[in-house]
Chains A and B, each alone.
Chain A
Amino acid sequence: MQPLLASPLLIPLATAAMTALLWSRPVAQRVASVAGAAALSIATILLLLEVAGGPPLVGRMGNWPAPFGIVLVVDTFSAIMLAIAGLKALAVAVYILGSGRASRDRRGLHPLFHGLLFGVCGAFATGDLFNLYVWFEVMLIASFGLLVLDGTRDQVEGGIKYVALNLIGTSFFLIAVGLLYGLTGTLNLADLARTVPTVGNQGAVAAIGLLILVAFGAKAAVFPLFSWLPAAYHTASMPVAAIFAALLTKVGVYAIIRVFTLVFGYDTGFFGPMLTVVAMATMVTGVLGAAAHYDVRRILSFHIISQIGYMLVGVALMTPLALAGSILYIVHHIVVKANLFLIAGAIKREGGSFALGRLGGLWAAKPLLGLMFLIPALSLAGLPPLSGFWGKLAVIRAGLEAEAWLLAGVALIVGLLTLFSMVKIWNEAFWKPQPNPHPVIPLGRMARFGTYAPIAVLCVLTMTIGLWTEPFAALSVAAAEGLLDHDAYIAAVLGPVQAATLTETTP
């Protein structure tokens, strides 16, 4: 059990406990929160450097051998997700310094925030299906607390829908877990990858796959299970919405990619077309929803859904290029989307509203904010040379190579419509004259630093991914190859010798 492997779990847990203990000391609590996020970010980057391109790192809990005990498995894909989650955690922790009201601290913003990171990192690191369920629940409880943090009527209403729909998704997941255990006698992902293709009753396996797709799809907000997302996200406070947008749905996407490459990856003939249709419908409904709204937060929420579609293209086509494109797209999306939510918070502070009709004149008043909005907004739409371009390029090229013409075409058109809604925010909030001038309260130095520093850093990161794509693309390709190399994963978890002895003793 390597300490580096457990650190993405232990650091958020320790930080959550620390911040809970420091409840009555706001300053110390904020320092602990930022320090914990920084430590998480460093640890996950070290982990990525350790794992990248090599075999998966495996940690056995309590040193029980693999299919019997719970394992933590971090391969290149997991490590990428952990590293980007750590980075995001740091950005949001700093942003909270600038924008968070003191009342939020007293309601437990920091312990819940690190509790959420604990769940997210656990879900990325686990190699066991039932353990994944536990991490989902950790995440759900923490995210629910964060969602209703301000205790306003909108938040509580959105929270009820969020929890009810997530619990239904969880029930589906548990039924699938039960069926899978009944069929194969194991819930270890590597062991499942080994046994599921040999199960005689493949019809039952397909049904389980669908149940799991519904369960993870509800977490990832794919079509037609996304209704909780626009109902809930736009009510959350901005730092919370940013971390939700960056990480929550991405855990669902991660779970879909992991399970449908590793466990059900052998049956692409059945799941491929289905995932293709889901991906297309998700892209289109999300972007159309965004086009219809005039509240910055709602537009951004619907765009999350639309982007989820692109991330599913990789697992729908199941080619190395498509998977690499999806992974690059997830990294880009987490950076850009959370940044847009942070910017939405800044727009609200500078312009006084989220409603586009009441905003205006921000370009004249705050040109720097306008510039910092344009970078992620155009990147989201996929304009070169920003980060979104490369992800989209890889995904669409993979679609063309796999002769999925419709999928590639839809992806292109959705990109255009994304540009339309981003330009809509630009025109309304930044370009048109201020409709009803109101006195702007200037921000203090600390608030200004906290608000703009993370936005600026994430903008620079977007530009970096866009202009110096080589290492990111190479990492995505390595992760995609790792995802498709089932034997290496199975051997790393079960060990080659043990895998052989197990098959001998199985009656």
Chain B
Amino acid sequence: METILALAIGVLTGSGIWLLLRPRTFQVIIGLSLLSYAVNLFIFSTGGLRTGAAPILERGEAGSLAQYADPVPQALVLTAIVISFATTALFLVVMLAARGLTGSDHVDGKEQDS
């Protein structure tokens, strides 16, 4: 499972960065979204990857990651998802405004002279 998750995070990050380097605002925003997905998955994975483990401790049990699933990264990731959703929505609004004002979807607001 770790290999698959690591590959997924890597692919998402790579695609995100490639898109970020593109000159169109739409590509930039998709790149940013992919990057934030990768980061979210990464934070999620820092709690350890386990199946069927409860995020609470049994009575008398030592607080070790071998016994339970750490709930803190899940809480962190939830916060991060909500915030990145909000910033993406905000960015989209401004992107549309820029498209309307400049008539171009280039990040510099005008096509490059070739």
Asked if A and B are interacting partners, one says yes
Chain A residues proximal to chain B, CB less than 8 Å: 130, 133-134, 137, 140-141, 144, 148, 151-153, 156-157, 159-161, 163-164, 167-168, 171, 174-175, 177-179, 181-182, 185, 187, 505, 507
Q: Is A168 a contact partner of B90 (Cβ separation < 8 A)?
A: no
The answer to whether A159 and B94 have CB atoms under 8 Å apart is: yes
Once the chains are docked, how many angstroms separate the CA of A137 from the CA of B83? 7
Q: Are A175 and B97 in contact (CB under 8 A)?
A: no
User: Given A134-B79, A160-B25, A163-B90, are A178 and B95 also a contact pair (CB < 8 Å)?
Assistant: no
Contact of B76 among A160, A161, A181, A505 (CB under 8 A): A181
Across the interface, A171 reaches (CB within 8 A) one of B39, B91, B94, namely: B39
Chain B residues closer than 8 Å to A151, beta-carbon distance: 97, 101
Q: For A140, list chain B residues within 8 Å (CB).
A: 87
Q: Which residues of B contact A160 (CB under 8 A)?
A: 25, 28, 91, 94-95, 98, 107
Cβ contacts B14-38/A at 8 Å (1 or 0 each):
0000001000010010001001100
**Which residue of A is nearest B64, CB measured?**
A507
A171 to B86, CA, bound (A): 15
User: Is B94 touching A174 in the complex (CB atoms < 8 A)?
Assistant: no
Select A182's contact among B46, B64, B102, beta carbons within 8 Å: B46
Main DSSP-derived SS at the B contact region: helix
Q: Is B10 an interface residue (CB 8 A)?
A: no
CB atoms of B94 and A130 under 8 A apart: no
CB-defined contacts of B109 to chain A, threshold 8 Å: 153, 157
- Tell me the B61-114 residues at the A interface (CB within 8 Å): 62-64, 70, 72-73, 76, 79-80, 83, 86-87, 90-91, 94-95, 97-98, 101-102, 107-109
Given contacts A144-B94, A157-B98, A159-B94, contact A164 B28 (CB under 8 A): yes
Sorting the interface of chain B by its residue count into under 10, 10 to 19, 20 to 34 or 35 or more gives 35 or more
A141→B45 CA distance, assembly (Å): 28
| Shortest beta-carbon contacts, A-B, top 8 | A182-B46, A178-B43, A156-B98, A157-B109, A153-B101, A178-B46, A174-B39, A137-B83
**B residues in contact with A179, CB < 8 Å:** 46
A178 near B32 with CB under 8 A, answer no
Question: Which residue from B36, B63, B70, B87 sits with its C-beta under 8 Å from A163?
Answer: B87
**Which secondary structure dominates chain A's binding surface?**
helix
Q: Which of B72, B90, B107 contacts A144 (CB 8 A)?
A: B90
**Known A-B contacts A179-B46, A507-B62; A163 and B39 likewise in contact (beta carbons under 8 Å):** no
A137 to chain B, nearest CB (A): 5
Contacts of B90 in A (CB 8 A): 141, 144, 163
Q: Which residue of A lies closest to B99 (CB)?
A: A156
Q: B94, A163: Cβ atoms under 8 Å?
A: yes
Task: Please report which residues of chain B, range 42-72, place their CB below 8 angstroms from some CB of chain A when the two chains form the complex.
Answer: 42-43, 45-47, 62-64, 70, 72
B-chain residues with CB within 8 Å of residue A157 when the two chains form the complex: 98, 102, 108-109
Given contacts A167-B32, A179-B46, contact A148 B39 (CB under 8 A): no
Whether B73 contacts A181 by the Cβ 8 Å rule is: yes
Contact present for A164 and B32 (CB under 8 Å): yes
* Inter-chain contacts of B46 with A (CB < 8 A): 178-179, 181-182
Report the minimal beta-carbon distance from B17 to chain A, rounded to whole angstroms.
9
Quick check: B64 and A141 within 8 Å, CB to CB?
Answer: no
Question: How distant is B14 from chain A, measured CB to nearest CB, in Å?
Answer: 14
**Known contacts A157-B108, A167-B87, A168-B35; is-contact A178 B94 (Cβ 8 Å):** no
Smallest beta-carbon distance B98→chain A, Å: 5
Partner of B42, one of A133, A153, A161, A178: A178
* Min CB gap A341→B, angstroms: 23
Residues of A within 8 A of B28 (CB): 160, 164
Q: How far is the CA of A309 from the CA of B108 in the complex (A)?
A: 28
Report B-chain residues with C-beta under 8 Å of the C-beta of A130.
76, 79
Smallest Cβ-Cβ distance to B16: which chain A residue: A171
How close is B75's CB to chain A, nearest CB, in angstroms?
9
Best-buried of A151, A167, A175, A179 by chain B (most CB within 10 Å): A167
Q: How far apart sit A157 and B100, CA to CA, in the bound complex (Å)? A: 11
B97 pairs with A141, CB closer than 8 A: no
Q: Is the CB of B43 within 8 A of A177?
A: yes
Please give, as numbers and ranges, the residues of chain A lying within 8 Å of B95 by CB-CB distance: 160
B97 with A148: CB separation less than 8 A: yes
Identify 17 new A-B residue pairs, CB closer than 8 A, beyond the known A171-B36, A178-B76: A151-B97, A151-B101, A152-B101, A153-B101, A156-B98, A160-B25, A160-B98, A163-B90, A163-B91, A164-B28, A164-B91, A164-B107, A167-B32, A174-B40, A179-B46, A181-B46, A182-B46
B39 touches A175 (CB 8 A): yes
Chain A residues with CB under 8 Å of B102's CB are 153, 156-157
- In the assembled complex, the Cα of A185 lies from the Cα of B48 at a distance in Å of 11
Closest to A145 in B: B90
Least CB distance, B37 to chain A, in whole angstroms: 10
Some 23 contacts from A to B, beta carbons below 8 A apart, are A130-B76, A130-B79, A141-B87, A144-B94, A148-B97, A151-B97, A153-B98, A153-B101, A153-B102, A159-B98, A160-B28, A160-B94, A164-B32, A164-B107, A168-B20, A171-B39, A174-B80, A178-B39, A178-B43, A178-B73, A185-B70, A187-B76, A507-B62
| A147 nearest CB neighbor, chain B only | B94
User: Closest residue to B41 on the A side, CB-wise?
Assistant: A178
Docked complex Cα distance between A507 and B79 (Å): 29
Task: Report the Cα distance A121→B102, complex, angstroms.
Answer: 36
Chain B residues with Cβ below 8 Å from A187 are 76
